[in-house]
Structure 1
Amino acid sequence: MSLLVHQIGPACTVQDQGRTGYLDQGLSRSGAADQLALHEGAALLGQGPDCAALEMAGMGGMFEATQPVSIALTGAPMQANIDGSPVVWNASHTLEAGQRLTVGAVMQGTYGYLHAKGGIDAPLFLGSRATHLTAKVGRAVQAGDMLPTRPHADNVNMKLQPDERFAGGTLRVVASFQTPLFDQDTLDRFTRTVFRRGARANRMGMQLDSDGVGFAAKGQLNILSEVITPGDIQMTGTGNPFILLPECQTTGGYPRIATVLPCDLPRAAQTPAGGQIRFKFVTMDEAVALHAAYLAELARLRARVEPLVRDPHEIPDLLSYQLIGGMISATE
């Protein structure tokens, strides 16, 4: 009742929605970098979004089913096949016992997700199955591991039109505690600047690069460390912005120029290296309305799921299908 891992890329971890309520003990939320992908996988498999999935950073792996299992693939599109036959991304499929799913390199974006019916049954820790590498909670998945799943073969061959969020774009932000420390000229330049996601990026955060001088706040050396959350944009001593992600530290003293809205964090996390990002300030009232619309869209995901029509050329056992069921004799 599991997926046997034959090959696996680096930094692939089991993730769910993360654990909350432990910031005062120095433990940040962790959880999937792209929370929307969790909801998409849940919709495709007809289950709750609290189920754990495998998060694949840039590269997937090869997985063998030990029992029939329903799977779904969401997030950043990756090359994928079952026993050599290509399969559609952002869709659900059946793995029969002994079949192998191969997930290759990412084609766009950063994080892809492998879901299983019933979720990946990793151990619970403080109410979550999420791996938190920086806190040494769990570890990255390795070749030879068994990913416990439930044997299922229903709710398969479904698809869902993905939300396009894998090439960067505009991130909406609200003012943070230290935003007033940045003068208006600096804030205006911040929103006019086209940033590029730099090479320094992981589940803790991602550095942004830009042309021209960096960004600095007045009196930033006197800022006391205080609580920070995913989405906060810190300005380092070099003037480069860092967008904090699920495994960010719980406190920090760098000035925060703004905070990315939770509904835009999937787009931020999925921006590939070199992808362009811009920022747009919105009011708190606008942010609340945007978040409410995002939650409503999540609730509608299951209604958007539709049957996946397979290409006959990609079905190796085509002759085993009953293709003329329901036909009647012309003489009757």
Structure 2
Amino acid sequence: MSRALIVHRTGPGVTVQDLGRPGYLAYGLSRGGAADRLAMAEGAALLGQDENLAALEMAGMGGEFEATEDLRIALTGAPMPASVDGARVAWNASHLVPKGARLNVGAAEVGSYGYLHIGGGVDAPLVLGGRCAHLAAGIGASLKKGDRLPVGLDCKDQIGMKIAPEERFGGGTVRIVPSLQTELFPEDERARFEMTAFHRDMRGNRMGVRFEPDGEGFVSAAGLSVLSEIIVPGDIQITGEGTPFVLLSECQTTGGYPR
């Protein structure tokens, strides 16, 4: 296939991602897929294509990529400076990368995960119904210099689409949904949790991210004696030191911390 994206330089956390592989939790494989599913939908809207087409997820920084044919692209998620052959291009917008041109994407200005969508999607091999890398499960790998990514057929030609950026990378309020283990935490601890401000810790990956509270940690009546059971992305586990850990796309399928 002649339609491809050649990787000339890349950050350490650039992978191919789609919306994941639902349906394998019982077999020990978490859903995986893009960490920012809203950004995937935004890219699909900008290019007028299915939101499950595979894109590049860029953790913290992007890289340098060359188009072997004219390629439509869209840039979403955490904003990063980007240019095509030295000419700056807008984030949250769709563009044309001409044949032979090079797209450069820098480091995230705010947030963590930026996305490079391509018209037709990245045509990575299908594994268990998905094209996404799942590093924790040994499926796929981070991109490296010299990789040549096949691109699917793109039947559309519209570019220059834009969406208004959302202020969702500088913090905000998180909605908490009670679960089976919520009652393990005393009522006063739950109330304090809801009123506490948290700061994202620098430690984190696609399995989950730690949040430091303003003040003391949180304790449950069960301590650490909870039996391991199913966990899913979005769960908030409270570690032994009382610190919340929010599970992300590549979390394990079972866990024993109260949540």
Question: Which residue number corresponds to residue 12 of structure 2?
Answer: 10
Amino-acid identity (%)? 59
Per-residue CA distance 1:100-159 (angstroms, 9 max, x = gap): 000001111110000001110011000001110111110001111011114657111111
Pick aligned residue for 1:99 from 101, 104, 115: 101
- Structure 1 residue 13 displacement after superposition: 0.6
Check whether the contact 2:224–2:240 (CA below 8 A) recurs between aligned residues: no
**What secondary structure does 1:220 align onto?**
coil
Pick aligned residue for 1:83 from 70, 82, 85: 85
Bigger mean CA offset, 1-10 vs 146-155? 146-155
AA in 2 matched with 1:157: G
Pick aligned residue for 2:216 from 213, 218, 241: 213
Question: Which residue number corresponds to residue 128 of structure 1?
Answer: 130
Check whether the contact 2:77–2:115 (CA below 8 A) recurs between aligned residues: yes
Per-residue CA distance 1:5-31 (angstroms, 9 max, x = gap): 000001111000000111111100000
AA in 1 matched with 2:169: F
Q: Which runs of 4+ in 1 moved over 4 A?
A: none
Question: Which residue number corresponds to residue 115 of structure 2?
Answer: 113
Gaps of 5+ in 1: 257-332
TM-score (norm 2): 0.97
Question: Which residue number corresponds to residue 248 of structure 2?
Answer: 245
Distance 1:120 1:107, change over 3 A: same
Question: Which residue number corresponds to residue 297 of structure 1?
Answer: none
2:188 pairs with 1:185: yes
Pick aligned residue for 1:149 from 148, 151, 157: 151
Pick aligned residue for 1:39 from 38, 41, 46: 41
Question: Which residue number corresponds to residue 161 of structure 2?
Answer: 158
- Structure 1 residue 216 displacement after superposition: 0.9
Aligned mates of 2:177, 2:30 — CA distance in 1: 21
Pick aligned residue for 1:59 from 58, 61, 64: 61
Check whether the contact 1:71–1:93 (CA below 8 A) recurs between aligned residues: yes
Bigger mean CA offset, 216-225 vs 117-126? 216-225
Aligned mates of 1:172, 1:231 — CA distance in 2: 11
Aligned mates of 2:153, 2:145 — CA distance in 1: 21
Aligned mates of 1:58, 1:47 — CA distance in 2: 26
AA in 2 matched with 1:77: P
**What secondary structure does 2:183 align onto?**
helix
Pick aligned residue for 2:257 from 254, 258, 267: 254
AA in 1 matched with 2:112: T
Check whether the contact 1:9–1:56 (CA below 8 A) recurs between aligned residues: yes
Query: Which structure has the larger Rg over C-alpha atoms?
Result: 1
AA in 2 matched with 1:94: L
- Structure 1 residue 38 displacement after superposition: 0.7
Q: Comparing both structures, which one devotes a greater share of its residues to helix?
A: 1
Pick aligned residue for 1:23 from 15, 22, 25: 25
Check whether the contact 1:67–1:151 (CA below 8 A) recurs between aligned residues: no
Aligned mates of 2:178, 2:42 — CA distance in 1: 30
Question: Which residue number corresponds to residue 324 of structure 1?
Answer: none
Check whether the contact 1:68–1:151 (CA below 8 A) recurs between aligned residues: no
**What secondary structure does 2:39 align onto?**
helix
Question: Which residue number corresponds to residue 229 of structure 2?
Answer: 226
Per-residue CA distance 1:72-127 (angstroms, 9 max, x = gap): 10111100000000000010001111100000011111100000011100110000
TM-score (norm 1): 0.76
